[in-house]
A = this chain, B = another copy of it.
Amino acid sequence: MKSFDLSLYLVTDRSLSLGRTLEYIVTEAAKGGVTMVQLREKDCSTLEFYQQAMLLKECLRPYNIPLIINDRLDIALACDAEGLHIGQSDMPYAIARKLLGKDKIIGLSVECLQDAIDANELDVDYIGISPVFGTPTKTDTAPALGLNGIREIVKISRHPAVGIGGINRTNAANIILAGADGISVVSAITSATDPKEAALQLRSIINQTIKKTINQ
Protein backbone atom coordinates (compact mmCIF):
# COMPACT_ATOMS: atom_id res chain seq x y z
CA MET A 1 0.00 0.00 0.00
CA LYS A 2 1.33 3.40 -1.01
CA SER A 3 1.26 5.83 1.83
CA PHE A 4 2.43 9.41 1.50
CA ASP A 5 1.76 12.80 3.00
CA LEU A 6 1.38 15.75 0.63
CA SER A 7 1.11 18.39 3.33
CA LEU A 8 4.54 20.03 2.89
CA TYR A 9 6.13 19.16 -0.41
CA LEU A 10 9.50 20.62 -1.34
CA VAL A 11 10.44 20.96 -5.02
CA THR A 12 14.14 21.62 -5.57
CA ASP A 13 15.71 24.29 -7.73
CA ARG A 14 19.46 24.38 -7.80
CA SER A 15 19.52 27.93 -9.17
CA LEU A 16 17.60 29.21 -6.13
CA SER A 17 19.75 27.48 -3.51
CA LEU A 18 22.09 30.46 -3.01
CA GLY A 19 25.15 28.34 -3.76
CA ARG A 20 24.30 25.69 -1.17
CA THR A 21 24.07 22.03 -2.22
CA LEU A 22 20.70 20.37 -2.68
CA GLU A 23 21.83 17.78 -0.12
CA TYR A 24 22.12 20.57 2.46
CA ILE A 25 18.78 22.17 1.55
CA VAL A 26 16.94 18.86 1.51
CA THR A 27 18.44 17.59 4.77
CA GLU A 28 17.57 20.83 6.58
CA ALA A 29 14.08 20.78 5.08
CA ALA A 30 13.65 17.19 6.24
CA LYS A 31 14.62 18.20 9.79
CA GLY A 32 12.05 20.99 9.53
CA GLY A 33 9.23 18.63 8.60
CA VAL A 34 8.80 18.44 4.84
CA THR A 35 6.86 15.32 3.89
CA MET A 36 7.82 14.85 0.22
CA VAL A 37 10.75 16.02 -1.91
CA GLN A 38 10.73 16.39 -5.68
CA LEU A 39 14.01 16.65 -7.56
CA ARG A 40 13.59 18.90 -10.57
CA GLU A 41 16.53 19.43 -12.94
CA LYS A 42 16.19 20.97 -16.36
CA ASP A 43 19.71 21.87 -17.42
CA CYS A 44 22.09 19.13 -16.37
CA SER A 45 23.37 15.96 -17.97
CA THR A 46 21.68 12.64 -17.34
CA LEU A 47 24.72 11.53 -15.35
CA GLU A 48 24.58 14.59 -13.06
CA PHE A 49 20.83 14.17 -12.63
CA TYR A 50 21.29 10.53 -11.66
CA GLN A 51 24.12 11.31 -9.25
CA GLN A 52 22.11 14.12 -7.65
CA ALA A 53 19.12 11.82 -7.26
CA MET A 54 21.26 9.16 -5.55
CA LEU A 55 22.62 11.77 -3.13
CA LEU A 56 19.15 13.02 -2.22
CA LYS A 57 17.92 9.48 -1.75
CA GLU A 58 20.63 8.96 0.86
CA CYS A 59 19.74 12.26 2.58
CA LEU A 60 16.05 11.33 2.80
CA ARG A 61 16.36 7.68 3.81
CA PRO A 62 16.77 8.36 7.58
CA TYR A 63 13.61 10.49 7.53
CA ASN A 64 11.55 8.03 5.49
CA ILE A 65 10.57 10.87 3.14
CA PRO A 66 9.70 9.85 -0.44
CA LEU A 67 11.89 11.16 -3.25
CA ILE A 68 9.90 12.04 -6.37
CA ILE A 69 11.66 12.69 -9.68
CA ASN A 70 10.36 15.42 -11.96
CA ASP A 71 9.67 14.36 -15.57
CA ARG A 72 12.51 11.84 -15.99
CA LEU A 73 11.30 8.27 -15.71
CA ASP A 74 14.80 7.01 -16.54
CA ILE A 75 16.19 8.73 -13.44
CA ALA A 76 13.31 7.49 -11.29
CA LEU A 77 14.00 3.93 -12.42
CA ALA A 78 17.77 4.25 -12.14
CA CYS A 79 17.71 5.47 -8.53
CA ASP A 80 14.61 3.49 -7.55
CA ALA A 81 12.89 6.67 -6.41
CA GLU A 82 9.56 6.43 -4.65
CA GLY A 83 7.84 8.22 -7.48
CA LEU A 84 7.64 10.41 -10.55
CA HIS A 85 5.98 13.75 -11.13
CA ILE A 86 4.85 14.41 -14.68
CA GLY A 87 3.55 17.53 -16.34
CA GLN A 88 1.24 17.87 -19.33
CA SER A 89 4.28 17.87 -21.70
CA ASP A 90 6.01 14.89 -20.13
CA MET A 91 5.61 11.14 -20.65
CA PRO A 92 1.94 10.10 -21.08
CA TYR A 93 0.65 8.78 -17.76
CA ALA A 94 -0.33 5.32 -19.03
CA ILE A 95 3.20 4.62 -20.26
CA ALA A 96 4.81 6.01 -17.11
CA ARG A 97 2.59 3.75 -14.99
CA LYS A 98 3.33 0.71 -17.10
CA LEU A 99 7.08 1.26 -16.83
CA LEU A 100 7.15 2.23 -13.14
CA GLY A 101 4.66 -0.28 -11.82
CA LYS A 102 1.69 0.15 -9.54
CA ASP A 103 3.67 0.54 -6.31
CA LYS A 104 5.32 3.83 -7.23
CA ILE A 105 3.80 7.25 -6.64
CA ILE A 106 2.89 9.16 -9.79
CA GLY A 107 1.80 12.78 -9.56
CA LEU A 108 0.45 14.85 -12.43
CA SER A 109 0.40 18.62 -12.86
CA VAL A 110 -2.97 20.07 -13.80
CA GLU A 111 -3.02 23.59 -15.17
CA CYS A 112 -6.75 24.09 -15.66
CA LEU A 113 -10.10 22.57 -14.77
CA GLN A 114 -10.12 20.41 -17.92
CA ASP A 115 -6.75 18.86 -16.98
CA ALA A 116 -8.24 17.93 -13.60
CA ILE A 117 -11.33 16.43 -15.26
CA ASP A 118 -9.08 14.41 -17.57
CA ALA A 119 -6.98 13.30 -14.59
CA ASN A 120 -10.07 11.72 -13.04
CA GLU A 121 -9.81 9.08 -15.78
CA LEU A 122 -6.29 8.18 -14.62
CA ASP A 123 -5.07 6.37 -11.53
CA VAL A 124 -2.58 9.08 -10.64
CA ASP A 125 -1.71 9.21 -6.95
CA TYR A 126 -2.06 12.96 -6.62
CA ILE A 127 -2.45 16.08 -8.71
CA GLY A 128 -0.34 19.22 -8.49
CA ILE A 129 -2.47 22.31 -9.09
CA SER A 130 -0.13 24.61 -10.95
CA PRO A 131 0.46 27.47 -10.77
CA VAL A 132 -1.63 28.80 -7.90
CA PHE A 133 0.04 32.20 -7.92
CA GLY A 134 2.55 33.86 -10.22
CA THR A 135 6.02 32.57 -9.50
CA PRO A 136 9.54 33.61 -10.38
CA THR A 137 10.81 29.99 -10.32
CA LYS A 138 9.13 28.86 -13.52
CA THR A 139 8.67 31.03 -16.56
CA ASP A 140 6.92 28.57 -18.86
CA THR A 141 3.80 28.10 -16.77
CA ALA A 142 0.11 28.46 -17.54
CA PRO A 143 -1.91 31.42 -16.12
CA ALA A 144 -2.19 31.55 -12.31
CA LEU A 145 -5.27 29.70 -11.05
CA GLY A 146 -5.63 31.49 -7.72
CA LEU A 147 -7.54 30.23 -4.68
CA ASN A 148 -10.72 29.99 -6.73
CA GLY A 149 -8.93 27.70 -9.13
CA ILE A 150 -7.97 25.41 -6.26
CA ARG A 151 -11.54 25.37 -4.94
CA GLU A 152 -13.00 24.48 -8.34
CA ILE A 153 -10.45 21.77 -9.05
CA VAL A 154 -10.59 20.20 -5.59
CA LYS A 155 -14.38 20.06 -5.86
CA ILE A 156 -14.34 17.96 -9.04
CA SER A 157 -11.14 15.95 -8.53
CA ARG A 158 -11.11 12.46 -7.09
CA HIS A 159 -7.37 12.73 -6.31
CA PRO A 160 -5.44 14.22 -3.42
CA ALA A 161 -4.18 17.65 -4.46
CA VAL A 162 -1.22 19.87 -3.69
CA GLY A 163 -0.98 23.51 -4.74
CA ILE A 164 2.23 24.84 -6.30
CA GLY A 165 3.44 28.22 -7.52
CA GLY A 166 4.19 31.31 -5.47
CA ILE A 167 3.30 29.70 -2.14
CA ASN A 168 5.00 30.92 1.04
CA ARG A 169 4.14 31.42 4.70
CA THR A 170 1.94 34.44 3.96
CA ASN A 171 -0.50 32.46 1.82
CA ALA A 172 0.09 28.80 2.82
CA ALA A 173 -2.94 28.66 5.13
CA ASN A 174 -5.25 29.85 2.35
CA ILE A 175 -4.19 26.97 0.10
CA ILE A 176 -5.24 24.45 2.74
CA LEU A 177 -8.43 26.38 3.50
CA ALA A 178 -9.23 26.29 -0.24
CA GLY A 179 -9.27 22.50 -0.02
CA ALA A 180 -5.78 21.32 -1.02
CA ASP A 181 -4.17 18.48 0.93
CA GLY A 182 -0.88 20.26 0.97
CA ILE A 183 1.38 22.96 -0.32
CA SER A 184 4.33 22.61 -2.58
CA VAL A 185 7.10 25.16 -2.26
CA VAL A 186 10.33 25.96 -4.03
CA SER A 187 11.94 29.25 -3.04
CA ALA A 188 10.11 29.54 0.32
CA ILE A 189 12.48 26.84 1.60
CA THR A 190 15.25 26.66 -1.00
CA SER A 191 16.11 30.37 -0.86
CA ALA A 192 15.53 30.80 2.89
CA THR A 193 18.52 31.84 4.99
CA ASP A 194 17.65 28.94 7.28
CA PRO A 195 15.80 26.25 5.28
CA LYS A 196 15.07 24.16 8.39
CA GLU A 197 13.50 27.14 10.18
CA ALA A 198 11.51 27.99 7.02
CA ALA A 199 10.18 24.43 6.87
CA LEU A 200 9.33 24.47 10.59
CA GLN A 201 7.31 27.66 10.17
CA LEU A 202 5.40 26.29 7.16
CA ARG A 203 4.87 23.02 9.04
CA SER A 204 3.39 24.91 11.96
CA ILE A 205 1.07 26.96 9.73
CA ILE A 206 -0.15 23.82 7.96
CA ASN A 207 -0.72 21.90 11.20
CA GLN A 208 -2.72 24.76 12.70
CA THR A 209 -4.77 25.20 9.53
CA ILE A 210 -5.52 21.49 9.18
CA LYS A 211 -6.61 21.46 12.86
CA LYS A 212 -8.94 24.41 12.17
CA THR A 213 -10.53 22.74 9.12
CA ILE A 214 -11.12 19.56 11.13
CA ASN A 215 -12.75 21.50 13.99
CA GLN A 216 -15.04 23.41 11.64
Q: Does A47 contact B (CB under 8 A)?
A: yes
Q: Does A77 contact B (CB under 8 A)?
A: yes
Q: Does A99 contact B (CB under 8 A)?
A: yes
Task: From the candidates B47, B88, B89, B90, name the one contacting A90 in the complex (CB within 8 A).
Answer: B47
Q: How far is it, in angstroms, between the C-alpha of A41 and the C-alpha of B47 when the chains are bound?
A: 17
Q: How far is it, in angstroms, between the C-alpha of A48 and the C-alpha of B45 when the chains are bound?
A: 19
CB distance from A30 to the nearest CB of B (A): 26
The quantity of this chain's copies bound in the complex is 2
Known interface pairs A73-B77, A74-B73, A77-B73; A89-B46 also in contact (CB < 8 Å): yes
Task: Judge whether A45 and B92 touch: CB under 8 Å.
Answer: no
Main DSSP-derived SS at the A contact region: helix
Closest residue of B by beta carbon distance from A71: B46
Chain B residues near A77 (CB-CB < 8 A): 73-74, 77, 99
Task: Judge whether B73 and A99 touch: CB under 8 Å.
Answer: no
Q: Does A50 contact B (CB under 8 A)?
A: yes
Q: Does A156 contact B (CB under 8 A)?
A: no
Q: Does A117 contact B (CB under 8 A)?
A: no
Task: Judge whether A47 and B78 touch: CB under 8 Å.
Answer: no
Chain B residues near A74 (CB-CB < 8 A): 72-74, 77, 91, 99
Q: How far is it, in angstroms, between the C-alpha of A89 and the C-alpha of B49 when the chains are bound?
A: 10
Within 8 A of B (CB), among A90-105: 90-92, 95, 99
Chain B residues near A46 (CB-CB < 8 A): 71-72, 89-91
Task: Judge whether A92 and B48 touch: CB under 8 Å.
Answer: no
**The 10 A-B residue pairs with the shortest CB-CB distance in the complex, in nearest-first order:** A73-B74, A45-B89, A74-B74, A46-B90, A47-B89, A78-B95, A46-B91, A77-B99, A46-B71, A47-B90
List 5 interface pairs A-B (beta carbons < 8 Å), by A numbering.
A46-B91, A50-B92, A74-B77, A74-B99, A78-B99
A interface, CB within 8 angstroms of B: 45-48, 50, 71-74, 77-78, 88-92, 95, 99
